[in-house]
Amino acid sequence: MLSLVAPWLSAEIAYPSVWAELDGGEPALVAAAERIGMRPGSRLREAIWRDGRRFDQLGYELLHPGWIERMGDPGVGIETEGKPVAVPRSPAPRIWPVGDGPIPANAMAVGPRLALRPFEIDDAPAIARASREEPEMSFNARGRRPLSPLSVEAWIARQGEQTPPGAINLAVVLRESGELIGEVNLVEIDWIARTAETAAWIYQPRHRGGGLGTEMKHLLLDYAFDRLGFHQVRSYVYDINPRSAAAVRKQGYRDAGRQWWISVKGASFVGWNVFDLLADEWRAARSG
């Protein structure tokens, strides 16, 4: 199937890049991908649970030869794979909550400056306003999308409808005042493999770049690894967003490869960096 579909999508439908996620424990599939000219882009460690064992998930990509000729060959993504980060620069604190101070209502996780809580319908206007006022385009390659308070209300109302949920979205509030300043997310949850993609958004630029992103991510990881029993998480960061890449690296995520040409910005292609983090690595860094 792969040898039929990928060349068709590339040569006939003319996708600049065709991406396939393969089970690293299926060598025939990987060989088939390589036979049709697909190249390794990423390796997510231990992301697949099959037959009582874990296997890596391999991302393979097929770049259109016409675009390679025009843009130059960007190379093979997995060459940028890094070693697991033995000691992240900002490991999580060993004990939550940290320090004294007020604990906001409904808090599920509490750090020195922040707390995570479920979203409430009343949060909708602030989120919609933030989407309209967002000055940066580093995390939405295709441009900013203003949200209406009604659509955000509907999104909040849908949280928790599904059991088990496909995504867990949590509000981030300042511990001292209870002010809503952002969100963290576990999306594309696989409850069998115990994996998810993580995401984060601090709504106002004035709160960015001061370490709050790292604190809120560690609160999310504490929830994911220690309470939900997740095994591994991954993250995708556009190559036009170096601040987010710096943030996940210092939290302990490891470079797991790259995916080229997944979107366009202006007249250029953009790709993203892929990161992964195992629960054991995060715990080891924390206790160290």
Ligand X SMILES: CC(C)(COP(=O)(O)OP(=O)(O)OC[C@H]1O[C@@H](n2cnc3c(N)ncnc32)[C@H](O)[C@@H]1OP(=O)(O)O)[C@@H](O)C(=O)NCCC(=O)NCCS
Number of residues that bind ligand X (CB under 6 A): 20
Instruction: Out of 113, 129, 144, 250, name the contact with ligand X by CB under 6 A.
Output: 250
Binding of residue 27 to ligand X (CB under 6 A): no
Instruction: Out of 7, 139, 149, 284, name the contact with ligand X by CB under 6 A.
Output: 139
Q: Measured from the CB atom, is 152 or 237 closer to ligand X?
A: 237
By the 10 Å C-beta count (0-12 exposed, 13-18 middle, 19+ buried), 15 is classed as middle
Question: In the bound complex, which residue of the shown chain has the CB atom lying closest to ligand X?
Answer: 213
Binding of residue 213 to ligand X (CB under 6 A): yes
* Peptide bond between residue 104 and the one before it cis (omega within 30 degrees of 0): no
Instruction: Out of 10, 17, 42, 244, name the contact with ligand X by CB under 6 A.
Output: 244
Nearest approach, Cβ of 5 to ligand X (angstroms)? 29
Q: Letter for the amino acid at 68?
A: I
Cα–Cα distance measured from residue 186 to residue 195, given in angstroms and rounded to the nearest whole number: 9
Nearest approach, Cβ of 182 to ligand X (angstroms)? 6
Nearest Cα to 77, choosing from 17, 136, 35?
A: 17
- What is the chain's length? 288
Instruction: Out of 33, 173, 181, 247, name the contact with ligand X by CB under 6 A.
Output: 247
Counting Cα atoms < 13 Å in the Cβ hemisphere of 202 gives: 19
Cα–Cα distance measured from residue 277 to residue 187, given in angstroms and rounded to the nearest whole number: 15
What radius of gyration do the chain's Cα atoms show?
20
Span interacting with ligand X, options 79-87, 142-150, 195-203, 280-288, rule CB under 6 A:
195-203
Binding of residue 200 to ligand X (CB under 6 A): yes
Residues engaged in binding ligand X (CB under 6 A): 138-139, 200-202, 208-214, 237, 241-244, 246-247, 250
